[in-house]
Structure 1
Amino acid sequence: MHWGIFGRGVCLLVTLLCVCKVDCLDTKEFQKTLPAKLVWGVPGKNAELPCDITPALPGDNVTMIFWFKDNLGMPLYSLDARDGPIDKASHLAMSDDLGSRSYFITEGEPSQARLSIQNINVHDQGVFRCRVDFVNSPTRNFQVNLTLVAQPSAPRIFDAEGREIRVNHPAGPFLEGHAMFLSCQVDGGRPRPTLNWWYNGTILDSVIDSSRASHTTVNQLVIAHTPRHLRKSRIECRATSSEGAGYISREVPLTVFLKPNKVKIVTPNTLLSASKSQNIRCETSGSHPPAKLTWLLDGRAIRDAVVTEEETETFTGSILSLNVVAEDDGKELVCRADNPRFPGGNAEDRRQIHVAYPPKILVQLDPASKSPVKEGTDITMQCKTSANPLPDSYSWYQNSHLIPYNATAGILPEDSKLTLKNIEQNSAGQYACSAMNSEGETYSAPFEIQVQYAPRCKRGYEMVRVGALPFETLSVQCHVDAVPDVTRFSWTYNTTRGVLPVQGAKTENLGNVSILHFTPPSRDVEALACWASNSVGRQRDPCLFFIVPAETPESPRSCLVRNTSHGDGLEVSCIAGKDGGLHQSFVLEVSDVTPPSKPPGVTTLSDQGVLPPPKYRVLGERPLFRLHSLQPGKEYQVAVYAENAKGKSDPPVVLPHVRVEYDAPYEEIPTEEESTHKQPSSDSSTSNKNLTWIIIGASVAAVLLIMSIVIVAAVLACKRPTTVVKRRCRRSSKPPDEFELSEDGFGEGFHRRSTQYRASMYGECEDRITRMIEGPDLILSPMSTSEHSLEF
């Protein structure tokens, strides 16, 4: 035992002597000149530092091996092989931590010798130096830089627009067959991390798309044609700085829209009977989201048929209840499957249908006839027929009226042909023919004949008088009829010097209407002329607009005063006169003329020839006014006139003696029981019966009297413009002040009108009332009574 302790001491002493010798031989300057090999270590795992112990001279042997860390002069680990082969050498760790986790491995080739360090951590990083001493060969030194691996950040996924895809959210949607783009990015990592895209254990892309100097590592995945099998799948982006350190991954679910890969009309293609409903089934699959099925017949969507649909996640079925007619024979029936979320993602199945029918006919223009059809030409129409058996008679129709044979008028129907000679504009319309066989009679679809003609003035616009104000711009509308539509309008104006083209004026052409905003360049402009042209030709006779000095408007006429339909006010309505060539508006003025003067009537001036000053003025675009706040017991005078930019109508229409009266107090009629109590108690049953007959007779007489009064009142209301209206007394103890008319009284419900009320109260005047223009909402504005306030 003492010898063992003594032996260990000797070994330690020898090692210290060797260390001293090493320290003396290896200076810091010498270590700086040694190249260092970089070795990456993963925290928590083992690291192996290489040290080549191959001697320079053949047959030479290793005597000592020392491992140093950083600039420490004391070795952390040594191996002594001076007393035997290296595999029998003694190992000595000089450090309690790092040295105890280290062991020098010499198995295998000398060049593969290495120092294994277990469970490395951040404190183990540094520069290690291995010194190898030989018996005869020169000493060799190796430096190893042990650096710990640092994993990058968690991968982040971005789409083609640069939007980040959040965790547990799908990427897409992508379209089958179209390009897919995803970008995976990580930050940091030591050494530079690898970044790969994986799908089902296979690498899709491992190319780094960022520079080595960049702090961010990027891998952009591009799939030129997205396959169907990627639907409902996940792809994975893996990042790692060292294989030994494992990898950091991010899975992304994919949303892929698929177009239908199958669509078929599964119902057998049998003969279809005309006018009988047929059920036809179509199925489609492979679409995501599920496809929508659309039925088309002869290229047009079938919209009026009954369609029954069934739908699952990828399957859609549709049953069409189709009613066919003779014209559908030979047409193409299409079942189209469209993915609503996939632009252009559709598939379709087609079939030609066959229909059993009575005569099938079609009207066509004879090839020898010129098209388009113009006035003055001759045309021939043919009734193309396909029937079994062949038709035995034909008939021709224009706008549903049978066409008789008329050689004088140039109308010649002969069996399946119809000839029209020297056609005119009224020859246009829908033509049809019918054919009859033993299966029945069939009428063709209407065949539209449109007769083209050069533009002509629309009725009512051949000659128009236009009122003009000095130095004001005229707005003139030219309306023409033309087939086809007008392609060009031109304007001219007449002066004493001749006819000149309109230049520099603003023109708005809307179809067959041209609106000219024209400022006459001089005072001698007499008229404007509008010319239109289309593909047929130029207008033969222009539309003329004679420019005349604007005049003040005519006074309104046939003014009436009557109750409103609600019974809570008066209504004044007139018929508008001529506007003088300019836009006109209407004014109603209300004046208080209490006490009453002359009997009611319609006049144009007051008794003194001068209108009294108005208290209120009401404006309107139409001569219809509603007055809701006239005070009972007062008498008013109403004046109505029209205004335009030239001035106002003169004289105004005056409605005098307009008043609203209180209702008569209501007298309660005693009941029969009360009347009985007032009679002597000795009345017999006979007198009661007589009283009953008297009451019945009085009631009948009262009803007849009321009806007579109503009829007389209605007749007088139509004949008399002056109206006295009774109005129920207000419950308020104080009547409203004469200046308390408000907007509430004049501005409520002016668009409502009761046709039934007019018919019941003014039956004999209905024609006059219906010709009146309905009035707008009115706004009552209080005015002073000065003379200046009369001017509007």
Structure 2
Amino acid sequence: MPQSYYSGCNLLVVFVVLNGAWCLDTKEFQKTLPARLVWGVPGKDAELPCDITPALPNDNVTMIFWFKDNQGMPLYSLDARHGPISKASHLAMSDDLGSRSYFITEDESGKARLRIQNVNVNDEGLFRCRVDFVNSPTRNYQVNLTLVAQPSAPRVFDAEGREIKIGHSAGPFLEDRELFLSCQVTGGRPKPSLVWWFNGTILDSVIDSSRDSYTTVNQLVITSTPRYLKGAQIKCIASSSEAAGYISREIPLTVFLKPNKVKIVSPNDLLSISKSQNIRCETSGSYPPAKLTWLLDGRAIRNAVVTEEETESFTGSILSLNVAPDDDGKDLVCRADNPRFPGGHAEDRRQIHVAYPPRVSVELVGTQNPVRETTDVTLRCKTSATPPADSYSWYHNSHLIPHNTTAGILPEGDRLFLKNVKESFAGYYACSAKNIEGETYSSPMDLIVQFEPRCKKGYEAMRVGALPLETLAVQCHVDSVPEVSRFSWTYNTSKGVLPVHGGKIESRGDVSILRFTPGSDDVESLSCWASNSVGRQQRPCLFFITPAEAPESPKSCLVRNATNGEGLEVSCIAGKDGGLHQSFILEVFDVSAPADPQAGVTTLSDQGDLPPPKYRVLGERPLFYLHNLQPGKDYQVSVYAENAKGKSHPPVILPNVRIDNQLTSLFFNNEDVPSSNPAAEASPSSVNLTVIVVSLAAAAVVLIVSIISVAAILACRRPGVVRMRRRSSKPPEEFDLSEAGFGEGFHRRSAQYRASMYGECEERISRMIEGTHSKDKRLFSYLTARPRLQ
């Protein structure tokens, strides 16, 4: 712009000042000026800047004018033509805007501004500042004063788009899970800011809506919600201008917390199966409070007594635990679960140790069952126990096994050593183990001892009675484990040993039967051999061939009431069988003569001719039961043995057998017979007579015993008959079996064998004394039971 123009204007300004006339710029000129935006806050001061720095050095301001919008008259002017700007005169229009305006100059260059106090909506508009200099060109500035408009109050929405009402909390949110909230405002000038704050710290200040959008949005996303936000309040703050202040919204947060601590606080002591144990678990840090669950080996414990204690942030649980032996070594888990927090749990685990009685079983060590005779065997008491077993016991066939070095039986703790095992070592072995919880017995283990065949006890040497031209069935009985695989027989003659052809042998199990017909061969004895998988029998079973004889008469026959209370029982002791199989016959005769109280058991029939027997009873044993005897009648009983050679002679006669009121009134009865006459029992004379009879009977007993003893001693002194009984000083083996373990047949055969080998003296004495005592006892019983007969 030409200098002449500005000079002319200066002259015009002076003219206007002096004469009230103004020089106005054209509108076209004003449109080309840039405008600076200045925000004003209603009710507060607004400052419109104006640069008054001269373009030329050492130049000064002469005049400053402020115009608003298209008004031609300045609303404010400053005249510095006559001095420094600090002493310039100010002139403002007298209207409302002018009265609230004042131009401020600063010592610092360019820091000049028009301050408008308490701006309002009417003050908005386009302001122009014109600065005239002495030498520099005139300068024009335009300032657009715009009032700030605050946005609406913030609104908050959750991830589902639901608005969170004022006074309500947001959530619930889960610890370590995502937290999402959206804060929104509408309107606002200039574009408002929207910031999330917590405890004086910015959480999120990023606007998530477009700049041209009428709605301003800030979405708060916390990928892992921290524990400290539980119960906290966060703020969403909106503002269009810092000077205009802030609009905020506080949001309480509900955050569910998972348990951060769970601990089984009870010491890990040894648990006993005999009593329950209280175990305590504690947890904290959960919101809402956690629920405690007990698990054993991964499974919830059912039907257990649990005591719970709960506060806002703490939960305790006491478990009364009953354990079983199988629980030893299992994991006990205390698990804390927040019921409002899916998957929010914590746990503490420990391995429990259970004290229980030993669990035991017997097993062979280093070998297999069965074992062979003469081998060494070790048994182990296999034990599982907590605490370990501290004592052991061993049993054989339910009997405690002591330490026996001589027999080779050595129990040592959980081991049982059997040295050089024998047949008697076979049987059931069991062990017991003991600890502080108790003692337990194992199931028995059957130890099978294999051995080569040997003669069954009582069958080592037998005498066989032979009848001319009659076939004998000789039975060979052996013991063998495993079973016999083959039997063989030999003839022993004066010419040597001859084999027996297999066609005459029949074998079943451990018994072999040889059907043998004595002929012209000089056969002295037979030998029986057996073999099994272990080996061949070392010593054969011997059968000595002797001419058969008639059997001996039965001995020591007794009559008593049957044990079932019906009828009578007659029992005898069998005599020698004569080398042949014998059977026994009992005959009952009905005699009319009354019972003779002085009669006794005899082998002589002094009764004269008897009628035919009422009935006859046969048996393989001398034991008979009589059920058909009539009360009030007298009977005579005859007992004898019979084999293929003939009958025993003489038979045993039992006279005067009578049944009175179902009770035996036999002279030899050893049962007390009650009196049937109470008046007689009460008679003094009867009592005195009874005393006399008893005294005589006692004297007779002593005399008879003395006579029999002397006679027996004299009889035993015959040459070639006396046998001295030897006593062995060797202690019995631990497992030696007595004859009590065998059947009655064994007793009969072994008795015969001993009698044939060692003579009959000892047996005769025993029988005589036994028979005498039996007679005396029966006599005494009879006399005291029937005083009415006197």
TM-score (norm 1): 0.45
Q: Which has the larger radius of gyration?
A: 2
